[in-house]
Amino acid sequence: MMDAMFPAAASEHAGEIDNMIDAVHYLMLVLFIVWGAFFLYTLMRFRAARNPKADYVGVKSKASTVGEVLVAIAEGVLLLGFSIPMWAERVDEIPSEADSTVVRVVAQQFAWNVWYPGADGVFGEADPYLTDEATNPIGLDRDGAGADDIWTVNQLHLPVDKAAIIHLTSKDVIHSFNLPNMRIKQDAIPGLSIPVWFVPTKTTVQIREETGNPDYVYEIACAQLCGNSHYSMRGFLTVHTEEEFQAWLDEEASYLGDSGTDDFFN
């Protein structure tokens, strides 16, 4: 029902999220109809013309109490039977990093800094004293493991059908990392590294073919008001085949000079 109103789903768990949202809205619809009908009934049943004298005892039937209990039970089933287990699966059952694409995303006003480990698969160190907003916004230390690391601004690239683990943090204020098509949303909080994961199931090329829109893009939005230019904090996710993703990594690595500096900025 509701999925027709959402951006096209493109992750392994998106169907579960959409089904949960459907169940919640079906319950809301039933409650709206039942309580709306009950409200209209009480307006007619206890109107002044029919009850000219005030009744200080009130309704003696327990029907409303039974209804309230049934609603509470239904909500409890949704919460305990579906919502919490689904959330626990997303939070606690993180796949092995050895079998996943691991990325760090550092949010700041008003951009998403995306950081990949180099060919060695090891992230370098970050030093705030090395931060330069023009050439090194994440403060990456190019000595040691950071020599071959890759970073981009507002551009996240991932391979299809492979788990992606994204470690989120922020340089300044609280942001909210939102990938609508992937049904992913998580706050990025200064001082914390928070992992989120998902499996993209459709490449950017595939989603464009399915939607019939050659310009369709997976958007990265900030879902938390983070300052006066919050509206401009927009990034893009490109999902490739494994071969295309590796080719992109190789191209980005080619911009690194022998000393590990970014030739693109020199």
- Please indicate, yes or no, whether residues 44 and 144 belong to a single structural domain of this protein: no
| pLDDT higher at 50 or 8 | 8
Tell me, what's the pLDDT at 167?
97
Does the global pTM surpass 0.85?
no
Say yes or no: 143 and 164 in one domain: yes
DSSP string, 51-90: --S--SS----SHHHHHHHHHHHHHHIIIIIIIHHHHHHH
The secondary element (H helix, E strand) that includes residue 26 is helix 14-45
Give the pLDDT mean for 106-135.
Answer: 94
| Domain coverage including residue 234 | 97-265
In this structure, how many other beta carbons lie within 10 angstroms of the beta carbon of residue 103?
Answer: 19
In the chain, the number of structural domains is: 2
CATH code of the domain covering residue 131: 2.60.40.420
d(C-alpha 138, C-alpha 193), whole Å? 14
pLDDT, one tens digit per residue, over 63-102 is 778 878 888 888 888 778 777 777 777 777 889 999 999 9
User: Are 32 and 53 contained in the same domain?
Assistant: yes
CATH of the domain at 58: 1.10.287
